[in-house]
Chains A and B, each alone.
Chain A
Amino acid sequence: MEADNDLVARAAAGDEAAFTALVERYRDRVFRLAVSILGQAFVGEAEEVTQEVFLRVHSALKSYRGEAKFGTWLYRVTFNQTINLKSRVRFTAPHVGEEVLAQHAASDPDALARLEKTRRDAAVAECVARLPEVYQSALRLHYWMGESVAEIATLLDVAENTVKSYLFRARQLLQSMLKERGVDSV
């Protein structure tokens, strides 16, 4: 497999095939990182950010000096671009009203259990959305997408121990937030 730096050099010289190879190599990771920052309800927006990241990186290839690994640089661009979008547009998950929940409850034999689960999932999602950005991202990558600590460390450009501490701290904060809302996590 051709090294990233060789592909970058060829892509910077205008070789479309080399850039396509880079996109193929990194597209899924960039997308997962963007989704992990925006949340489950914003998959379409994450796809757009992923596209914008590659377009931006392509126009900046000539200025890439190779001080950091290409992947590290790419993830940093992704993180910054996604955070920028998130700060410009207010991202809130669609709210499920009590009436809608009650309607479901009336038409389903396992209604109560489902209703309870929906309420609990909504509470978890809302509490996760109130955590610091890196905690949210680490949680979604780990618990939703099943990424390993090592992979999360690569995507967030931090040490594995830092990811472990993000996850630990995030769980602690969530536990107290859920307790305040009366959601029992034990």
Chain B
Amino acid sequence: MSEPGKRVRDDGIEALLRASMATAPPPALPPTFTERVTVRLRPRRLNPSAKRTLRLYSFAVAALSVGVMASLGVDWVVIALSLAVPAALGLLLRKRLR
């Protein structure tokens, strides 16, 4: 094809792309974007009252378990192990997450 012919075709596709692709304005991020990112970067910690509630709940569950197992005649070594193993795993996980 001749040079002018090529140029006409190139101008044509150029115009078509501009008309077809620039129909919507370029999008933009919302103004709150940066804040959202920084919030997600902060470590999530429980507030003091939630921590207190969680501790109370754990003690209550442990005490109830010990009571039930003792009433069923489970050996004290087994009872101690059933509390110590999950507690140790929990502590280990907490240490790793820090």
Q: Chain A's nearest CB lies how many Å from the CB of B44?
A: 14
Q: Report whether A23 and B34 are in contact in the complex, using a CB–CB cutoff of 8 Å.
A: yes
- Residues A186 and B34 in contact in the complex (CB < 8 Å), given A43-B27, A51-B40: no
Distance between Cα atoms of A102 and B37 in the complex (Å): 44
> Which residues of chain A from 44 to 90 have a CB within 8 Å of any chain B CB?
46-47, 50-51, 54-55, 58
Distance between Cα atoms of A140 and B26 in the complex (Å): 10
Nearest CB in chain B to that of A174: its residue: B13
Distance between Cα atoms of A140 and B8 in the complex (Å): 22
Residues on B with beta carbons closer than 8 Å to the beta carbon of A46: 27
Q: Report whether A55 and B17 are in contact in the complex, using a CB–CB cutoff of 8 Å.
A: no
Q: Report whether B21 and A55 are in contact in the complex, using a CB–CB cutoff of 8 Å.
A: no
Nearest CB in chain B to that of A58: its residue: B41
Nearest CB in chain B to that of A184: its residue: B12
Q: Report whether B9 and A186 are in contact in the complex, using a CB–CB cutoff of 8 Å.
A: yes
- Please tell me if B96 contacts chain A, counting CB pairs below 8 Å: no
Size of the chain B interface, CB-CB below 8 angstroms = 27
Number of contacts between A and B (CB, 8 Å)? 83
- Residues A40 and B17 in contact in the complex (CB < 8 Å), given A24-B34, A51-B37, A55-B40: no
- Please tell me if B14 contacts chain A, counting CB pairs below 8 Å: yes
- Please tell me if B93 contacts chain A, counting CB pairs below 8 Å: no
Q: Report whether A55 and B37 are in contact in the complex, using a CB–CB cutoff of 8 Å.
A: yes
Among B9, B18, B28, the residue within 8 A (CB) of A143 is: B18
Residues on A with beta carbons closer than 8 Å to the beta carbon of B36: 51
Looking at chain B's contact residues, the main secondary structure is helix
Q: Report whether B17 and A139 are in contact in the complex, using a CB–CB cutoff of 8 Å.
A: yes
> Which residues of chain A from 6 to 53 have a CB within 8 Å of any chain B CB?
16, 19-20, 23-24, 27-28, 31-32, 35, 40, 43, 46-47, 50-51
- Please tell me if A145 contacts chain B, counting CB pairs below 8 Å: yes
Q: Report whether A50 and B13 are in contact in the complex, using a CB–CB cutoff of 8 Å.
A: no
Segment with Cβ contacts to B, from A103-111, A120-128, A158-166? A120-128
Interface centre among A50, A58, A144 (most CB of B within 10 A): A144
> Which residues of chain B from 1 to 59 have a CB within 8 Å of any chain A CB?
8-10, 12-14, 16-18, 20-24, 26-30, 33-34, 36-38, 40-42
Interface centre among B18, B29, B40 (most CB of A within 10 A): B29
8 tightest Cβ-Cβ pairs between the two chains A and B:
A186-B12, A124-B20, A143-B21, A145-B26, A144-B21, A43-B27, A143-B17, A185-B13
21 A-B pairs (CB sep. < 8 Å): A16-B41, A19-B38, A23-B37, A27-B33, A27-B34, A32-B26, A35-B27, A40-B21, A40-B24, A47-B29, A54-B37, A120-B20, A124-B17, A124-B20, A124-B21, A128-B21, A143-B18, A143-B21, A144-B21, A144-B24, A146-B26
